[in-house]
Every structure is written in C-alpha cells, then in structure tokens.
C-alpha cells in the first residue's frame, strides 16, 4: 500500500478521493476501461461481433448500408475499448483484437497473460498471470458499475471496474484476499453545451416557403449526471494478518448532497497480526487521516482536504505525524464555467449566466463569419496562477523538517515561436528544510525543451458539418428540393486532450540544479525520448482516431552530472547513456470501424432512415455517397533497454575517463526476458551472460520434459533454467566460459505447482571453450548437462504447504526444516536431520503457535511470563506428550526446559533418565539420551516444560520463536537462547544474551517527542484462580517519564498500554489463590477417642474424646463426608441439614460447605 499525490493540478470538476483532493490510497487493484464508442460487452458491442472490414461493404446492399448507418448513430459498436490494469507490481493496457477471436493485445507488449469471461450481458471477470506464474483474479464478485443520464435518457449501467479480489502465488503458499464495501456515488453533473449554425440554405426547384433558414442560435445546455456504484476497499486478508480500512462516521459534505448521501471518507487504516498467545488479531499500527474541507458552504465549493496523517503504534501513541499545506486559491463550484480547455480553473468568470463553455471563436457563417461561444475572449485559455488552486505546496515531517514545492503551468513554444500555456502543472523547485540549518537544500528544474502532445483545433469542438435534405413527393418519387448545412459547435471536444500517459506537454530535455540556476554546486541534465501521437486517416469518418506512441515517451536517454567550477562554468563528472530497441512494431490493422453520415434526410415520408438504392428517393444515400467509413489500426510495441554506456571523468582532467558498456538482448516479444547481458570494461574485455528459460527449450509445442512443459503452461517465463558467463580477453581474443549455473525444478506437493529442485555450478579450474549447454532427450525427457556440473544444493522435500522441508548442500548432510504459525515461519532447523516420509526423525514445539511440531498432546499450554521462549509453557499435569522416533539404529536427544525437576521420559517402555545441563531464572535445561530407534515416546510428570525438542544424537537443532512483532527468541544447538525485544511499533529495541544481559539496545526518537508520560498505576486481581479461592492482587506501576511522545495523551497511551499488556499477566503469574476456609464444629459426647471426619477421603480431622472443637475446611461441595468406626459399638452420627445415621460409622453424600453454613458433625 502507498499514499500518493498527483501534482499536476486539480480540475474544476475533480471529485476528491476518500482521503482528499489530489490524494489516493493505492491498495488492491483493478481492471478499468475507457469506452470507445459503446461498451464492448453491450448487446450490440464490439465483443458481440459487430466489427466489419470496410472494403467488403457494398452500399448497394441494404444490410451493409444498415451496418454503416448503425455505426454512425452509435447503435452498433465497431471500436474496441481500451482497458487498463493496475495491481501490485504490474500495470499496463490492452484491447481485444476483433480480427483474432478477440484475443487480448497488450499495449505495450508485456509478459502478462490475460483471460476473461464474457457473459450473456457483460464481461464478468479477468484473470491475469505474471511472468512468475502468480495469478490475480478480478471481478468475480466485485465490480463497479457506472450509469449516466442526460438529455432525457437514462442509460443502462455498465461495468466500469473489475476489482482485484485475490492474488495467489505460483507455489500456492500465499493468498492475499481483498474485500469491498458499497457506496453509491452521485458525481457532480457535467455540463454540455451546443450552438447550432444553419447556413447555405438552398432549393432546387421547390416552391417557397423553404423549411430551412439561416440561423445562429444557442442550442440546448444539457446536464449529464453520473452515478457510480463504487466498492471501497474494506479489508485485505493474508496469512496471519489483515489490513482494515475504516470509514468516517459522518457523511461527506462535498458530494451526494441532496441525493441520500451515504458516502464517507476514509478515517483510518489498521494493520493487524495474529497473536498466537491471545488467539486474536492484534493491532500493529494505525494510520489516521485528519481531514477538513476546501471552500465554504456559502460558495458551494467544498472539496475534501487531507490536513495531516498520524501513524500510531499498537498502544495508540503517535509515532509519526505528517502535515500538509496547500495553495490558498480555492476552486469554484463544480459546474463553474471558468475552466480552460483541459478543465483546470482559469478564473475568467465564475457566473455561468455571463459566459459559455463553448470556446470563444470566429467560425464561417453563410459566406462570412460569426462569433460564437463565450462572451469573454479566450474564455478557455489557461491561467498559470489559478491553475494552482488548492494544490499541495508544503509537507511537514516528523523530524521537524519540511519541504516546499513551487509550480508553474505546462508551457511550450509553438512552431511560430510563440510561448503557449497548456493544461496541468510542472514543478519548478523543491526546497527541503531539515529543522537544523536555516538554509534549505534547493533543487531547481529548468525545462530546456518542451513539445506539445495534444490536439487542440477548434474543429474538434464541432461535429462534422452535416447537410440536411428535405424530400418532397414529385409524381411517383421523392426529390430533395431543399437543403442546408448544419454545424453543431460543442463545449466538450470530441477528442481526448490528454493522451494515454496524460502527458499534455512532454519535456525531452530537463536540467536539475542542486541550488538555483544562479547559485548551485552542480546540475544534472536528463534527456528523454519523445514520440508524438498522430491522427489516422480514419478520422475523416468524423471520429478522431489517434495513433498513440505513449510507450515511446519518457524513456531516459541520458543522464549527465556536472560540477560547478569557481568561474561559474560546468565540468562533466559522470554520464550514463541509455539505448533502447523497439521490437518490430505490431500494427493491428482493421481492428476498429468508424462511420459517419453526411446527410440528414427529412420530410413527410422520411424518418432519417437509410435511403436504399431501390427506394423512390432521389438522390438516395447510395448515389449521394452519404456514408464515409473506414477501419483503423492500433499499434503495440515495446522499447526495451538494450545498452547503457557509463563514463566517469577525471575531475582534474575531463578528457580522461573510464567506460563501462552493458548491453542487453531479449528473448522475443512474447516472453520479454533478458537472454544475454554483455559488459565491456575499460580495458576492452567482454563479459557475457547467457540466460535460458523454460520456453527456450520448446520444440514445437513441447519441451519433452514434464516439469518444463508445466512451467511454460503456468506462465513461468522469468524462471532461469541455465545461465553461463563468458569472457573474451581483449589481448588473446579468446572467448571462454568462466562459469555456469543450472537450476532444475520439480512438481510441488500442491497439485499443479512448481518448486526448485537443484542448483548446480560448473566446476572448472580455468576458463573453458568446450562448454555444453543443457539439452533435453526428446525421447525420455531427461536433462542432458555438461559433465563438469557439480550439484551445490538439492531441495529434497517439501511439506504439504510447499514449504521447503529438507535440503542438502554440497559436501554436507541434509538439513531439515519445521514450519509453524500457519506454516508461515520456520521454527526449527535440524542439521543432519533425516526427513522420513510417514515417520518422525525430529520434533519441536515451544507451545506458542497452532502446530505441534511432530509431537502429540491434548493438554492446553498456559501463559507463563517466565517462559524461556515466547510466553507459553506446557503443564505436563494436563496430559502426556507422545511421539515416535523413526530413525533406525541411531540414538536420539530429547531436551526441554523445566520449572521443576526432570520429566518422566519413556521410550518404548524404557524410562530414560534426564541430565540437568544448566539453570537460569528458575528453569532448568534437561537432556535425555535415548536408545537407538525406532521407538515410541511418552513424556509425563507434574512440571511445566518449554522448548521441547527431539532429534538424532548426531544432529544439531536450532529453534526459533515469534510474536506478531517478529523473531523473539533463537535457541542454539546447546539450548542457549538469545532474545529479541521490540517496542510498540514493532521496532527492534533490545537483543539479550542467554543470561538476559542486553547486548544491543536501539532507541528511536523524533524531534517533537519531548513530552513524558504521567506516573500511572493500577491494581490488578488474578483472574485464573480456581473456584472457592480468594484471588490475590497487585499494583502495577509505570513511573513518570518512562515514555516520550509529541503529546501528553500519546505518552500516556504508551504507559497505559504497558499496564494493560503486563499488569494482568503479572497478577495471574505472581498472585496467589488462597482457599476460602469455613469453620466446621466437631462434637463428641461418647467419651471415646479415635473418631475422625474425612472430606472426600482425605485430610482426616480428629474429634475430641469429649466436648467440641472447631476445624477449618476449604469451601466447596464434597462428594462424601464420613466418620470412621471405633470399636464395635454403634453410635448416632449427625450432620447439620442431613438425616441422622446410626451404626458403626457414617457417610453423607454431596455436602456443600459454604461460608455461613454453620455445619456441625456430632457423634453420640
């Protein structure tokens, strides 16, 4: 996730995101589209097959004329929409190629696979696979729809965004899921104006009155409303954690006014990790967004404004605080006409009764000219000052420093040498203050060359001139006797003024001064590529069709760094030059179709339907050539970096320099991986690296190897199979192989996945010239490799979650790995630990997480603040622990920490004695050496244990314990433990050794954390006492000024969190649970000694030989209370509340002994 701000300026109609105007929280992802013509998936959309080849149309055929007519009036869609995808690590554009079964075509080419589902009514979902084989799913259930209404028509909602719902790694170890809420957002109405000019009225034999007359009148002003069923992100879920997006309670003031407002701004983002101690999600950090509004209610120009951000730790204390300041010029209300061609505020006139959105311009009219549009000349021109309304100009940092930004409008010089201003802003300087020095660090930008990259002719504010023809019945046919030209001038251009990359003006040459142009220590000059867009010939059909080259723009061609000399001149210090290669440009011909009709047919018998050749009309639409139509193409290409030349100059003599030339060769336009890297050093030696990928081994449609075929099919384009390095010596001209690496892969434990198998390197003592690259036996699929390869490591086994379970390095025994915490973290590493399928060669648990680490137990671990690792231990009194040791012929080691004596360890019936190795903090480390395996294991006793291990005697085990903050303990092969402590922001605070000594301490502080906490204390009572006991209490105190923050409340939050986290735990650990005792009277009137009362058969209490005595019995309900026999005589025995008994002895069942019960046992 990240928070970003676009500094190109705010348009009058811009609606703030849920964090503020100009800001966006980038999390999740989406596939969106720019509709061209009509929606592709509409009933008569492009994906439904409404693309025709223009040269095949015959206007003498009614169906062909119908097709051209329906395209012209927007009833059919012959234009592919342009789709954009953006999700973590990937972004791009694509369209569906109607000439190739609607296969997606990427703009530019990229190694991303795209699949989609076209339902009966809409595109329902997309699946994208990257070059690593990771899969992203969009729109299965989360789509956003857009509905527009205007000019009396309400259009059907269309899918406008397919939201990212899941990302799954290729090996299926990780899945990230995204959940969304629902908001119905009514965007401010967009205004569309039209001015209609009728001229060149003529008649060819008709008798006046003529139905047409010359006129210049304002046409209708239309308000177009847009409502979007948005789905704001509510939660991101991942293994062991989640991120929650919480909205404000109050509704927003700047949108949805008067339409049932239910739109809320983002309040905060909360990051959680699962705590295995509490078995709950635990807050790790919180990002709080503080907002207000630009504008006022009176001016009706509210825009949501982000004022500051606070980042809080898990205690809720402020760790970082960022504040933002903006340009004080405010935007007008949404419908204001004071906007330039691009929609930015220009301050011309804010009263919509005095101006027009149609540009002020002089146009032809009936043989002369007339003025139309706004009453203010240049009403749509840009204004550099007003364009900066409400843009960010200062950021204040937690360190006390701040940065200011200075802007100016985009500018360029046209071919006539005139300076022109275009929409959008550019940065001219950045000043950074560090809160220590008064002088800021200044960076100033000068735009040496500027090129426009838009089409702004007034013709694009007018629909193509259309001739209206009025037909009159003449005997047996109809003739067009009256006609006129009608021109419709509009307020919104029929072409996008901003290209795909939103680069209205492109700057191929920019200088960055470290200082100002007048006072600096040096400058950096950047040269970028520029390739302007252009109009296709298909534009004659009335719809502007642009050939975009956005993928060829903005490539860094060179970066030159200069130092400034004392005389004010500059001397070059370093230069990097980049060269790019364009794969043969893919021109997808005839993928779109546009059409316009030049004539509007009117009259009593005409309803503006096509006038077919066979109809009784003259002229008809065939003879008059009424339709102009054309196909158009879309280009796709990619520019890849092919070479970088680096020069480092001698400061004292810039004619001397070192060079480094690195060049890159790529595989092909499908896979786009680096096949060869070549580096030529200053001595002229050439170093080359060759990479081979799974697809390089294809022979037709197969590699003949099951695993490599699976990798190709799973889109694992970027996985290197083999690479080798060569050196061509400039002196000997010998090209020799200096090294090579071969990576093999295998099928994973999860069906359909691929995991690493082995890594081998070429073992040669000197460069060789007879290296044999890997091949595949086409018959067996076996890999054939150079005989000098030596295996460096093998990845031998994987667990059922595709975690590496064992590996074997070269010249070493195997190492096994145990995973826990939902298979996320490795908890044990066992060198020389045997992996036994279906058996147990090792086991480990610290009783912290969900797994049992090859042990079996049914008791419940309990919290113990003194635990050697983590916070939990296992009381053996709650249940035995069992396992097996499946290693034949080898003895094993069972080790643990105990808070008492040794546990009882039984191996297949034989008790194995433990040896105490060391004692620290009330815990003793024991080791039991077992007999040779295999055997079963049972561990029992009354002590509590931690860090329970099992491994072969000739192996070594290292173990790891975690909390939501990170690694908290690492125990070495001898049981020695290092501890890692974190602050409440999950930053490492202390590293402690085996004995609890602090080895390293880390302290974090920002300039404003100067306010200490108050002294705080609270009494906590133990909550884990059994019934019929009195819980003890203690007071937990935090001293004054233990924590510092920017506010008293924030510092106190730290102190309060410490108390809440540790106070109750301390009480539960250290406070006692003394039993509640009740007085019971024993009375004997027999004069005979020896009578005893027992409660549940234990703790006999003696009666006096005569008289009474008072004893204390723990409160509770006893299954039996009995009095024994003395001699052979019979007696009467009494218990308060129960029936008297006569005999040699007595017994009562279910006796409740409670405070105030006044029980008396009597012998008579």
Whether residue 358 has pLDDT greater than 90 = no
Whether residue 61 has pLDDT greater than 90 = yes
Q: What is the pLDDT of residue 351?
A: 55
CATH class of the domain at 813-1008: mainly beta
Instruction: Over range 574-602, report the average pLDDT.
Output: 90
Q: What is the pLDDT of residue 444?
A: 97
Contacts for 668 with CB less than 8 Å, ≥ 6 apart: none
Q: What is the pLDDT of residue 348?
A: 84
CA 445 vs. chain centroid, Å, equals 32
Q: What is the pLDDT of residue 1055?
A: 97
Q: Residue 374: pLDDT band by 50, 70, 90 thresholds? A: confident
CA distance 366 to 485: 9
Q: What is the pLDDT of residue 1099?
A: 79
Q: Residue 547: pLDDT band by 50, 70, 90 thresholds? A: confident
Q: Which two tokens stand for residue 262?
A: 């239910």
Residue 461 phi/psi, 5-degree rounding, is -100, 20
- Residues 700-721 pLDDT 10s: 999 999 999 999 999 999 999 9
Q: Cα torsion for 1111, 1114, 1115, 1118, to the nearest 10°?
A: -90
Q: Residue 90: pLDDT band by 50, 70, 90 thresholds? A: very high
**Window from 134-143, 311-320, 345-354, 548-557 with minimum mean pLDDT:** 345-354
* Sequence ranges of the domains in the chain: 187-230+232-426, 440-656, 673-798, 813-1008, 1077-1163
Query: Is 980 strand, coil or helix?
Result: strand
755, 746 Cβ separation under 8 angstroms: yes
Q: What is the pLDDT of residue 433?
A: 96
Residue 541 phi/psi, 5-degree rounding, is -80, 5
In degrees, rounded to 5, the angle at the alpha carbon of residue 512 between the alpha carbons of residues 507 and 513 is 150
Residue 834 phi/psi, 5-degree rounding, is -80, 135
Whether residue 637 has pLDDT greater than 90 = no
Instruction: Over range 737-750, report the average pLDDT.
Output: 97
Q: What is the pLDDT of residue 350?
A: 59
Instruction: Over range 1135-1147, report the average pLDDT.
Output: 95
Q: Residue 83: pLDDT band by 50, 70, 90 thresholds? A: very high
Distances (CA, A) of 203 to 200, 330, 467, 479, 480: 10, 55, 13, 11, 8
Instruction: Over range 640-661, report the average pLDDT.
Output: 94
Instruction: Over range 918-943, report the average pLDDT.
Output: 96
CA distance 79 to 45: 8
CA distance 1052 to 985: 15
Whether residue 563 has pLDDT greater than 80 = yes
> Is 1077-1163 a CATH 2.60.40 domain?
yes
Can you give 957-973 as a three-state secondary structure string? EEEEEEECCEEEEEECC
Q: What is the pLDDT of residue 94?
A: 96
Whether residue 354 has pLDDT greater than 60 = no
- Residues 848-893 pLDDT 10s: 999 999 999 999 999 999 999 999 999 999 999 999 999 999 999 9
Q: Residue 1065: pLDDT band by 50, 70, 90 thresholds? A: very high
Q: What is the pLDDT of residue 1071?
A: 95
Whether residue 809 has pLDDT greater than 60 = yes
DSSP 8-state secondary structure symbol assigned to residue 698: -
Instruction: Over range 390-407, report the average pLDDT.
Output: 96
Whether residue 153 has pLDDT greater than 70 = no
CA distance 597 to 464: 9
CA distance 1139 to 583: 104
79, 594 Cβ separation under 8 angstroms: yes
Instruction: Over range 254-266, report the average pLDDT.
Output: 81
1058, 1041 Cβ separation under 8 angstroms: no
Q: What is the pLDDT of residue 206?
A: 64
Q: Residue 1012: pLDDT band by 50, 70, 90 thresholds? A: very high
Whether residue 155 has pLDDT greater than 90 = no
Whether residue 427 has pLDDT greater than 70 = yes
Whether residue 539 has pLDDT greater than 90 = no
- Residues 431-484 pLDDT 10s: 999 989 999 999 999 999 998 888 777 667 888 888 998 888 877 778 887 889
Q: Which two tokens stand for residue 135?
A: 């899969």
Whether residue 353 has pLDDT greater than 80 = no
Q: What is the pLDDT of residue 126?
A: 98
- Tell me the pLDDT of the chain averaged across its residues: 93
**Can the peptide bond before residue 810 be classed as cis, meaning omega within 30 degrees of 0?**
no
Q: What is the pLDDT of residue 280?
A: 93
Instruction: Over range 895-922, report the average pLDDT.
Output: 96
Q: What is the pLDDT of residue 401?
A: 95
Whether residue 390 has pLDDT greater than 80 = yes
Distances (CA, A) of 83 to 162, 320, 353, 964: 11, 38, 39, 40
């Amino acid at each position: 996730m990240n928070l970003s701000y676009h500094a190109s300026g705010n348009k009058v109609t811009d609606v703030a995101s849920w964090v503020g105007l100009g800001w966006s929280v980038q999390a999740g992802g989406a596939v969106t589209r720019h509709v061209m013509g009509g929606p592709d998936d509409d009933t008569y959309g492009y994906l439904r097959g409404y693309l025709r080849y223009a040269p095949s149309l015959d206007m003498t055929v009614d169906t062909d004329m119908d097709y051209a007519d329906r395209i012209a009036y927007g009833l059919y869609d012959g234009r592919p929409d342009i789709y954009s995808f953006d999700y973590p690590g990937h972004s791009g554009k694509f369209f569906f190629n109607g000439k190739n079964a609607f296969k997606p075509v990427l703009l530019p080419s990229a190694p991303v696979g795209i699949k989609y589902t076209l339902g009966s009514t809409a595109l329902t979902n997309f699946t994208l696979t990257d070059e690593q084989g990771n899969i992203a799913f969009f729109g299965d259930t989360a789509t956003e729809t857009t509905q527009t209404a205007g000019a009396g028509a309400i259009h059907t909602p269309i899918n406008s965004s397919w939201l990212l719902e899941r990302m799954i790694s290729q090996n299926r170890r990780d899945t990230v899921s995204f959940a969304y809420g629902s908001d119905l957002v009514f965007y401010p109405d967009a205004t569309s104006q039209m001015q209609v000019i009728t001229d060149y009225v003529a008649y060819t034999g008709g008798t006046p009155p003529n139905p047409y007359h010359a006129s210049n009148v304002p046409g209708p002003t239309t308000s177009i409303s847009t409502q979007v069923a948005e789905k704001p992100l509510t939660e991101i879920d991942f293994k062991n954690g989640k991120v929650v997006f919480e909205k404000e309670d109050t509704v927003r003031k700047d949108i949805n006014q008067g339409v049932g407002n239910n739109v809320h701004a983002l309040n905060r983002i909360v990051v959680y990790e699962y705590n295995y101690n509490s078995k709950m999600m635990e807050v790790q950090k919180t990002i709080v967004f503080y907002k207000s509004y630009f504008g006022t209610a009176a001016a009706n120009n509210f825009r949501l404004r982000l004022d500051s951000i606070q980042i809080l730790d898990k205690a809720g204390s402020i760790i970082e605080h960022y504040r933002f300041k903006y340009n004080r010029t405010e935007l007008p209300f949404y419908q204001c006409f004071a906007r330039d061609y691009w929609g930015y505020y220009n301050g011309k006139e804010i009263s919509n009764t005095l101006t027009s959105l149609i540009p002020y311009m002089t146009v032809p009219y009936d043989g002369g000219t007339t003025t139309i549009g706004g009453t203010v000349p240049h009403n749509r021109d840009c204004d550099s000052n007003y364009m900066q309304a409400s843009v960010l100009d200062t950021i204040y940092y937690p360190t006390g420093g701040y940065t200011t930004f200075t802007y100016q409008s985009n500018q360029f010089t046209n071919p006539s040498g005139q300076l022109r201003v275009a929409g959008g802003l550019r940065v001219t300087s950045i000043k950074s203050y560090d809160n220590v020095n008064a002088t800021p660090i200044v960076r100033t930008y000068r735009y040496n060359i500027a090129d426009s990259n838009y089409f702004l002719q007034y013709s694009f504010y007018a629909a193509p001139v259309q001739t209206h023809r009025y037909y009159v019945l003449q005997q047996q046919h109809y003739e067009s006797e009256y006609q006129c030209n009608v021109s419709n001038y509009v307020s919104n251009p029929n072409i996008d003024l901003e290209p795909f990359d939103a680069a209205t003006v492109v700057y191929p040459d920019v200088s960055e001064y470290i200082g100002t142009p007048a006072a600096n220590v040096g400058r950096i000059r950047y040269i970028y590529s520029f390739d302007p867009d252009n109009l296709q010939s298909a534009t004659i059909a009335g719809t502007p069709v642009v050939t975009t080259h956005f993928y060829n723009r903005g490539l860094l061609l060179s970066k030159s760094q200069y130092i400034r000399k004392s005389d004010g001149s500059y001397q070059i210090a370093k230069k990097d030059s980049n060269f790019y290669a364009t794969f043969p440009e893919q021109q997808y011909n005839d993928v779109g179709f546009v059409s316009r009709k030049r004539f509007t047919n009117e009259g009593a018998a005409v309803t503006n339907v096509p006038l077919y050749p066979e109809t009784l009309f003259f002229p008809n639409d065939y003879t008059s050539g009424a339709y102009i139509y054309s196909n158009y193409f879309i280009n796709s290409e990619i520019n890849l970096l092919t070479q970088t030349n680096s020069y480092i100059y001698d400061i004292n003599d810039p004619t001397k320099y070192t060079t480094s030339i690195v060049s890159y060769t790529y595989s092909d336009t499908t896979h786009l991986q680096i096949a060869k890297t070549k580096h030529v050093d200053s001595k002229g030696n050439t170093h080359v690296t060759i990479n081979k990928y799974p697809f390089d081994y294809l022979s037709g449609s197969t590699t003949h190897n099951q695993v490599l075929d699976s990798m190709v099919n799973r889109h694992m384009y970027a996985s290197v199979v083999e690479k080798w390095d060569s050196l061509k010596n400039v002196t000997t001209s010998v090209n020799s192989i200096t090294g090579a690496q071969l990576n093999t892969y295998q099928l994973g434990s999860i069906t359909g996945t691929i995991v690493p198998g082995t890594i081998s390197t070429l073992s040669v003592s000197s460069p060789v010239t007879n290296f044999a690259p890997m091949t595949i036996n086409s018959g067996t699929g076996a890999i054939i490799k150079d005989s000098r390869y030596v295996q460096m490591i093998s990845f031998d086994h994987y667990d059922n979650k595709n975690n590496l379970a064992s590996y074997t390095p070269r010249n070493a025994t195997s190492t096994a790995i145990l995973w826990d915490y939902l298979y996320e973290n490795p908890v044990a590493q066992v060198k020389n630990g045997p992996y036994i399928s279906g058996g147990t060669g090792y086991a480990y648990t610290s009783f912290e997480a969900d797994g049992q680490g090859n042990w079996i137990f049914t008791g419940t671990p309990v919290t113990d603040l003194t635990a050697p690792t983590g916070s939990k231990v296992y009381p053996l009194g709650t249940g035995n622990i069992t396992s097996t040791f499946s290693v034949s012929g080898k003895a094993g080691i069972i080790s643990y920490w105990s808070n008492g004596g040794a546990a009882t360890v039984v191996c297949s019936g034989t008790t194995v004695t433990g040896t105490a190795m060391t004692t620290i903090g009330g815990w003793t480390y024991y080791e039991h050496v077992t007999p040779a395996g295999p055997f079963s294991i049972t561990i029992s006793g009354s002590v509590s244990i931690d860090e329970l291990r099992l491994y072969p005697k000739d192996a070594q085990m290292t173990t790891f314990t975690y909390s939501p903050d990170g690694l908290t303990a690492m125990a070495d092969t001898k049981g020695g433990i290092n501890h890692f402590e974190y602050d409440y922001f999950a930053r490492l605070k202390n590293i402690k050794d085996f004995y609890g000594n602090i080895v390293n301490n880390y302290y974090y502080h920002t300039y404003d954390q100067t306010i200490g906490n108050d002294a705080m204390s609270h009494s906590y009572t133990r909550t884990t006492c059994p019934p019929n006991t009195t819980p003890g209490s203690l007071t937990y105190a935090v001293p004054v000024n233990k924590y510092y923050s920017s506010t008293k409340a924030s510092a106190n939050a730290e102190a309060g969190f410490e108390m809440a986290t540790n106070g109750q735990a301390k009480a539960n650990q250290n406070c006692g649970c003394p039993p509640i005792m009740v007085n019971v009277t024993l009375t004997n009137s027999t004069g005979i000694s020896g009578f005893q009362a027992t409660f549940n058969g234990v703790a006999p209490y003696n009666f006096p030989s005569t008289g009474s005595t008072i004893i204390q019995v723990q409160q509770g309900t006893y299954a039996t209370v009995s009095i024994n026999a003395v001699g052979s005589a019979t007696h009467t025995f009494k218990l308060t509340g129960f029936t008297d008994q006569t005999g040699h002895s007595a017994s009562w069942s279910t006796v409740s002994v409670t405070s105030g019960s006044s029980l008396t046992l009597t012998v008579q």
